[in-house]
Amino acid sequence: MCFYSVKELIEEAEKRAVAISTVAKEMEAENQEVSLAEIEQRMLKQWLVMKEAAKAGLKEPKKSMGGLIGGEGKLLEEYRLKNRTLAGHMINKAVSRALAVAEVNASMGKIVAAPTAGSCGILPGVLLTVQEELCLSDEKIADGLFTASAFGIIIAQKASISGAEGGCQAECGAAGAMAGAALVELAGGTPSQAGEACAFVLKNILGLVCDPVAGLVEVPCAKRNAMGAALALVAADMALAGIKSVIPVDEVIEAMGEVGCALPESLRETAKGGLAATATGRMLAKRFLFQGETS
Amino acid sequence: MRNFSCFDILGPVMVGPSSSHTAGAVRLGRLARAIAGGLPKEVKILLHGSFSQTYRGHGTDLALIGGLLGFETDDVRIRDSFEIAKQQGLIFQLVPTNLGEGFHPNSVKFLITTVDGEKLSITGASVGGGNVVITHINDDEIELKGDLPALITTHRDIPGVISQVCGILAGHNINIAFMRVFRKEKRKLAHMVVETDEKVEPDVLEEILKIETVENVRAIEPV
Ligand code: SF4
């Protein structure tokens, strides 16, 4: 069993009056030829690694390998705890956790690629936040991850989930879209509302280029994880309110694929354009030229 | 169209920051270790292309050494692999280089001295998403991806060797998934890379080594 469009996925869930996560995990169990319980167990394991990364990154931030980032998640968390924030409690909570995970990745800590290492902060950021705020079990969050991955699979098939292929819209964009859909389900929304949230995120990140400074997964990656998390929450709320995307979600995904193909090579992970090619970006890149290492 | 698993999208679990420059580098180190038959005594690692420029910020250097130490891609000790390598007595050196035209931008060449004193060179590349390929052993072309158990032979290129090796594997109920033969010159030394569904046990290797025209055979576990 597999789905090639969000429409098919939503129809299947609605026909059977089940959540998208149910459809996704049954599909996975069938394709892998293992029991549903085993598939659920595997996802739970991924979730616990994500959660651990978010907590570690907030508690003991480390400088990144390239030295360009480190500690921003904690900084935002402290600010949130002390102040009445502008964007609100939940968004800031999710953003600080997303930043924390991106920092763990950049400092050689353990993460789950979601869908890639560069965009690994978005899902744990928002999911840990809704877990805490809505008092959800780890099993429930793992269900959210199944929903997220069902959307991720369709994005990967119809467009791309690689920055080198489709720019950052394919990494942080896909992660945000997957997170938006998962949030809707976890908050009690319908399968089609999950599809709307996915569309809202992708529409707003369409065309985002991949331009890592010095080729490192640090700048602007961590901050794009932050914005991806914020966007996912806003998109989920819009969908839950009943707002619909005029362009259907499958067409949005196709547009993202086309935009990705149209991006010049300089804006697809080569570190030759965008922020990487700014005066500061180039100056930072020079610092990383190889010096050799011996024992 | 490729069918993805949920765990292709949410996974792998890995030590960051990059699937190609970190996770892939760990796997290259693990394959080099497997080909060398264990932790080498000494290694000089030549880094090419993007590897030579962004190695430090991606921890590619730590990841390659971590792989040589046998670490998995999600082992948090990778961050400390230089220290651990020193404790284990590995003499290592990393050098930026240009391997020349025709090499993938994320290529690396290991110049290894094994504990038995054998000199060995192993070249490979990290080709994206944590996937890797070993392209040369001792500058002879091969292709090994490390996803399945594998055998690499060095044998004389004369008729019958291939069928003898296959016969031995069949006799032990080992199914061949992929197989390729590489040679530089007709009737000289050649290599065969056989990827199998089952692990190849030492007694099978010994049997293969008994074939007169087989000079050497290495069993490589998947990484
Ligand atoms: S900028 Fe590029 S490397 Fe960084 S997260 Fe986005 S896609 Fe990944």
Q: Where residue B1 falls among pLDDT bands split at 50, 70, 90? A: low
pLDDT in tens, B37-52: 999 999 999 999 889 8
Cβ-based contacts of A43 with chain B (< 8 Å): 6-7, 10
Cβ-based contacts of A63 with chain B (< 8 Å): none
Helix, strand and coil percent figures for chain B, each rounded to 5: 30, 35, 35
Helix (H) or strand (E) holding A22: helix A20-32
Distance CA A191, CA A10 (A): 6
pLDDT at B56: 85
Q: Where residue B3 falls among pLDDT bands split at 50, 70, 90? A: confident
Distance CA B219, CA B221 (A): 7
- The answer on pLDDT for B57 being more than 90 is no
Distance CA A261, CA A278 (A): 23
Tokens of A211: 């331009």
Which protein residue has the closest C-alpha to ligand 1 atom 2?
A210
Domain boundaries, chain B: 6-144, 150-220
Cis previous bond, B105, omega within 30? no
CB A108 within 8 A of CB A65: yes
Backbone angles phi, psi at A246, to 5 degrees: -65, -40
Q: What is the block-wise mean pLDDT of chain A (295 residues), using blocks of 10 residues?
A: 93 98 97 96 98 98 95 98 97 98 97 96 98 98 98 96 94 98 98 98 98 95 98 98 98 98 93 96 81 53
pLDDT at B2: 65
**Residue B173's CB: how many other CB atoms inside 10 A?**
7
DSSP tag of A210: B
Tokens of A152: 């991720």
Which of the residue ranges A234-238, A249-253, B24-28, B180-184 would you say has the lowest mean pLDDT? Answer: B180-184
Distance CA B13, CA A288 (A): 27
Is the C-alpha dihedral spanning A9, A242, A143, A148 positive or negative?
A: positive
3-state secondary structure of B153: strand
Instruction: Tell me the mean pLDDT in the region B67-83.
Output: 97
Single-letter code of the amino acid located at B206? E
Domain boundaries, chain A: 6-289
3-state secondary structure of B77: helix
The answer to whether A153 contacts B4, with C-beta atoms less than 8 Å apart, is yes
Distance CA B86, CA B25 (A): 19
Which of A26, A27, A108 is the best mutation test for B, with the most CBs of B within 10 A? A108
Which protein residue has the closest C-alpha to ligand 1 atom 8?
A118
The answer to whether A295 contacts B85, with C-beta atoms less than 8 Å apart, is yes
Q: Does A171 touch chain B (CB under 8 A)?
A: no
For residue A211, report the distance from its CA to the centre of ligand 1, in Å: 7
For residue B106, report the distance from its CA to the centre of ligand 1, in Å: 18
Which protein residue has the closest C-alpha to ligand 1 atom 6?
A168
Cβ neighbors of B143 (< 8 A, separation 6 or more) are B133, B134, B135, B180, B182, B193
Interface of B with A in 64-93 (CB under 8 A): 74, 76, 78-79, 82, 85-86, 90-93
CB B37 within 8 A of CB A196: no
Chain position carrying tokens 């024992």: A295
pLDDT at A287: 81
Same fold, B6-144 and B150-220: no
pLDDT at A290: 46
CB A102 within 8 A of CB A70: no
Q: What is the ipTM of this complex?
A: 0.95
3-state secondary structure of B191: strand
pLDDT at A293: 55
CB B138 within 8 A of CB B60: no
CB B219 within 8 A of CB B205: yes
- The model's pTM is 0.90
Cβ-based contacts of B42 with chain A (< 8 Å): none
Average pLDDT, chain B: 94
Helix (H) or strand (E) holding B187: none
Closest to B195 (Cα-Cα) out of B172, B219, B162, B168: B219
- Distance, first Cα to last Cα, chain A: 52
Distance CA B107, CA A290 (A): 15
The answer to whether B78 contacts A108, with C-beta atoms less than 8 Å apart, is yes
Q: Which CATH number fits domain B150-220: 3.10.105.10, 3.30.230.10, 3.40.50.300, 3.30.70.260?
A: 3.30.70.260
pLDDT at B54: 82
Single-letter code of the amino acid located at A62? K
pLDDT in tens, A86-145: 999 999 999 999 999 999 999 999 999 999 999 999 999 999 999 999 999 999 999 999
Residue A144 CA from chain centroid, whole number = 13
**Residue A135's CB: how many other CB atoms inside 10 A?**
8
Cβ-based contacts of A46 with chain B (< 8 Å): 7, 10-11, 13
Of B3, B15, B85, the CB nearest to A109: B15
The answer to whether B14 contacts A148, with C-beta atoms less than 8 Å apart, is no
B-chain residue closest to A215, CA distance: B54
The answer to whether B17 contacts A28, with C-beta atoms less than 8 Å apart, is no
Instruction: Tell me the mean pLDDT in the region B201-214.
Output: 95
pLDDT at A138: 98
The distance of B1 to chain A (nearest Cα, Å) reads 7
3-state secondary structure of A65: coil
3-state secondary structure of A234: helix
Fold of B6-144: 60s Ribosomal Protein L30; Chain: A; (3.30.1330)
pLDDT in tens, B132-171: 999 999 999 999 999 999 999 999 999 999 999 999 999 9
